[in-house]
Amino acid sequence: MTDLSGLSDAHLVLLAVQLCTDGNISQFPALLPHFHNRPSLEVLLRIILTFLPESIEPHRYVSIINAVVVEQPASIDLDIDSSAVTEFSEAEARRQVRKLRLLPLQYPGHPDDPTLTPLTRFLIHRAHRIDSEFGILTFIPDLIKPFVETSDFLREWVISTILPLIRFNYEYYPDREGTLSLELLESLDCRSAVNTLLSNAERRDKGGNVDRDLRGLIGPWIYGRNKSKRRKLSGDARSASGGKPRVSENGNGYSGWQDVNEWLISTSIRDFGLAVEAVMRWAGPKDVDVAGYDDPKIAMSEDMERTLTSSYGQAALAAIYTISDCNADNLEDSCRILSKTAALLEIEGHSALQIHSDELFPFTSNVLPSDNCRRSFSYSALLDPENALTFPTREAIAFLDAILASIRMLIGFGHSITPRHAAETCLLGEEENQLLELREVLEVLKRESKLSRDWLQSREQLLWLRSWGNNRVSASRQAQHSGLFWRIHVSRFEKEILNTMLMAKQHALAVSIYTSPSSPLCRDEVEAAVTNAIFVSYDNASNGNRTRGGVKRASELLDSFAPHFPDSIAFRQIRSLISATHALSFYSLTLQHGVPFQPVSIRVHQDPLSLISKVLEQNTRAYTELDNLLKIGHELIVAGLPNGLQEDEVPSTDLSMLSLETIQLLSARRIISLAISSALNANDFETAYSYITTRLAQDITRSMDTGHITTDNISWRAAYNAGRHRSNVPESENTSLQSRISRLSQQMELLSLALILSPSPVNLPEILAVWRRCDEELNTLQTQEQEEADHWDAHGDKNSMSSSVPGGFGPSDAELDAIDTQRERARRLRASRIPRRSRRDYEEAPMGLFDVARGAARAISKNAFPLSSTSASAASATASVSSLRPSSAASSRPRQSVDIAGDGDEVRAGGNHDGSSTPSEAGEGPRVRKRDVVSNMVTGGLVSGLGWVLGAQPVNQNQK
């Protein structure tokens, strides 16, 4: 035993410091009785705190500390080396003691609580020293555990700090790089601590255990921290109220749980599966593991537990509304969260949720009120207790149940939406928004090609989505948003379904539902929907052939519904449109900029008949298929498309008052005119002549016979263009005069028809000018023909007179006189045919229209049949139009016979130029040339007053 009787208290203090420095802490209690004035407990603990190395295992000195605290007598004799201390004098010893820098028991930065004992302060500071100086955190529990029951604050500090720290660094994540220090954990605020302690949380399939972290890290940290706050607040309240305890259980005491709820929502955005696992495996704030240090259930009142559990349930429901991609897996997880939350809070009806049923039951529970605003869906308002959308009530659970059941049904259709989007559509969406969403769903069904889909069931599911099974919804019920598409009127909803079934080729089912007496739509609505569906298929077609593509679908749809609507004008028009489109598909047709023809071009074109002109331009000899082109035009007009008629084509006529029959007639003339132009462009005059004489002329005749004469600028222009046509191909040298005369005769006939058909005198000068040139050319050719004939006759006579046939006889003198007389008569005849201007000096003024009229009048005086007056002449000319019947032999004769009916008499026009007839023609009656008929008509008109309109001046006016 060491003798310390000669040492002062200063020497003993230095000896105590030496014991701590050397780690010989076991001798410390034996040293204390030798003090003359025993140091205070705080000084002794500060000496141990300052000089005892942190590397010494706590089990070696916890009993010593306890003995010092309780002043337990030493159980061992003092046996230490005091030589280093005895050398100091008492004054020197005091000086050395004053030089000691003892650490304070209160750890810097730690909240100063005057109720804390020196031992508690020492243990907390010692724990921080072990962490900062040595870094082995496992020493801390060994240090504190023997004393944890000595102080509530110490126990709460261990639960909130040491327990999570040890679990985080050594039990849960021992392989984690770096460790979480005690000082750092205590410096974190609640939200940062939650995020830090849960930073390593992962799903079980990735090796994580989030429910363990919530239960073993977050739960103790928040529980101990909040309990310490409650204890402090209770102490303050006790002091303020004179010693009566008062415990505060407001939100401030449990604010950390709100940070956990926010972490749950943020995690659901980042990793919804992790949030689901947390909700499914963790029961909320009451599910806390404090390692036996306390009983959380005893410390939490029922009201507080209910409040915290409701907040946790609200976070779970809010997590469902944060899903960014609601696929089948996420939907199933959402259903699990809803079931778990409803069961955890014991919500009424939680065992009968619709999300687990495959049958379509109506929702009878009350749904959310209509006062929800868009702010309810914002991130900051999801945890608001006033948010009726997420706060776990019976209505909120029922509404989310309906939303998830609707999403499950939509996923079955192939369309996925998030719970938030579905809720916004239901609560905030206007009719157009809901209709847009419905059309997206139906568009998926349209594109679906599965033949196994039960479309009758799909229709029932769609109707269920509209009202959630409550088909008979009252006005008050509608105000409560009972249905995903509740704002869409049922008739409009049925129209959308019908259109979808039609696009999906479910024609038979659509016919059976919507044409039956129990149809939810009236006949007009069904007809309009079918018409619209037909046009959609038609407009999307790339080929006009009715045996494939969109036109085929349109035709099949029309065939399915047309028998049920026999009086439908729209269906008849569509059938005509499809027929015309099909006929056009056999032609090569390209629109502007090389765009291929598509059926929709017909419907959007302002003048569909003009497409026929493009057909004629782009298809060689398409003009020969006039009947087919006329049929196409007829079908286009019957289809109700624009007729393209212009005011200048039908002068002095109100286009809006034209009947369908008149429009068909004018359209047919227009198509014939286009075919004639195409034939002329192809130098096929014969076909153009045939179309005019067999189509336009007969058309005019029928109109005059019925008394309904429709004048236009189409027919006469077609005849006029054909009459003035000149081939751009050089004539062959072998072309005979006879064929040229025949062509000119035909052209003059067409010009005469143009004169008759012209609706206005304004066009007469233009037509007569061409007719005059043709007449001059014809006279020239006829003169040339006659000269050739005379030359041939003279050559024959010469040969006959100078016959060198042996035994032959020449003509007698009488015969020679007769031949000379006949030649002289022929010369005079040719001279009479030469116009006066040919015998005049050509320095005169050119022939005008007045000269044409005068020549025509002179020809009239030589005609075989009398035209006694101007009115008779005009009447005869007009009658010639009504009885114009061109003969098929016109192309083979130089002069065409025309029947002219006047005053009941029939006169044959033809014969010689001067009106005389040959003996062979005498029995047939007088004959007159066709151009003379036209001259008679023109002369009659001019004498009646048109001459001054033409403005022609006679050549010899100055002579008179």
Structure confidence by residue, pLDDT tens digits, 505-563: 899 999 999 999 999 999 999 999 999 999 999 999 999 999 989 999 999 999 999 99
Mean pLDDT of 204-226: 89
User: Does the pLDDT of residue 41 top 60, yes or no?
Assistant: yes
User: Does the pLDDT of residue 456 top 60, yes or no?
Assistant: yes
801-854 pLDDT per residue, tens: 555 556 555 666 777 778 778 777 777 776 665 554 444 443 344 444 545 444
Which pLDDT score is estimated for 761? 84
Which pLDDT score is estimated for 806? 60
Q: Give dist(CA 932, CA 909) in Å, integer.
A: 9
Which pLDDT score is estimated for 348? 78
- Which residues, 6 or more positions from 356, have their beta carbon under 8 angstroms from its beta carbon? 335, 339
Q: Give dist(CA 387, CA 377) in Å, integer.
A: 9
Lowest-pLDDT choice from 786-790, 795-799, 882-886: 882-886
Which pLDDT score is estimated for 367? 58
Q: Where are the domains of the chain?
A: 320-521, 571-726+738-779, 855-950
Q: Give dist(CA 324, CA 266) in Å, integer.
A: 12
Which pLDDT score is estimated for 913? 37
Closest residue by Cα to residue 636 from 572, 595, 580, 715: 580
Closest residue by Cα to residue 317 from 253, 385, 410, 230: 385
Q: Give dist(CA 746, CA 894) in Å, integer.
A: 9
Q: What predicted TM-score, i.e. pTM, was given to this entire model?
A: 0.70
673-693 pLDDT per residue, tens: 999 999 999 999 999 999 999
Averaged pLDDT of the chain = 79
User: Does the pLDDT of residue 241 top 70, yes or no?
Assistant: no
Lowest-pLDDT choice from 156-165, 443-452, 782-791: 443-452
Closest residue by Cα to residue 789 from 738, 837, 857, 863: 738
Q: 891, 746 in Cβ contact below 8 A?
A: yes
Lowest-pLDDT choice from 258-262, 651-655, 781-785, 913-917: 913-917
Q: In degrees to the nearest 10, what's the CA dihedral of 197, 202, 206, 211?
A: 90
Is the sign of the CA dihedral 589, 590, 592, 598 positive or negative?
A: positive
Secondary-structure percent of the chain, ordered helix, strand, coil, rounded to 5: 65, 0, 35
User: Does the pLDDT of residue 469 top 90, yes or no?
Assistant: no
Q: How far is CA 128 from CA 65, 109, 221, 954, in A?
A: 17, 11, 17, 136
Which pLDDT score is estimated for 933? 53
User: Does the pLDDT of residue 231 top 80, yes or no?
Assistant: no
User: Does the pLDDT of residue 258 top 70, yes or no?
Assistant: yes
745, two tokens: 């005769």
Lowest-pLDDT choice from 456-470, 695-709, 732-746, 830-844: 830-844
Mean pLDDT of 932-941: 52
Which pLDDT score is estimated for 857? 41
Which pLDDT score is estimated for 55? 93
Selected residue with higher pLDDT from 792 and 270: 270
The percentage of the chain sitting over the pLDDT mark of 90, rounded to a whole number, equals 43
Which pLDDT score is estimated for 875? 37
Which pLDDT score is estimated for 948? 40
User: Does the pLDDT of residue 449 top 80, yes or no?
Assistant: no
The percentage of the chain sitting over the pLDDT mark of 70, rounded to a whole number, equals 75
Element housing 889 (H / E) = none
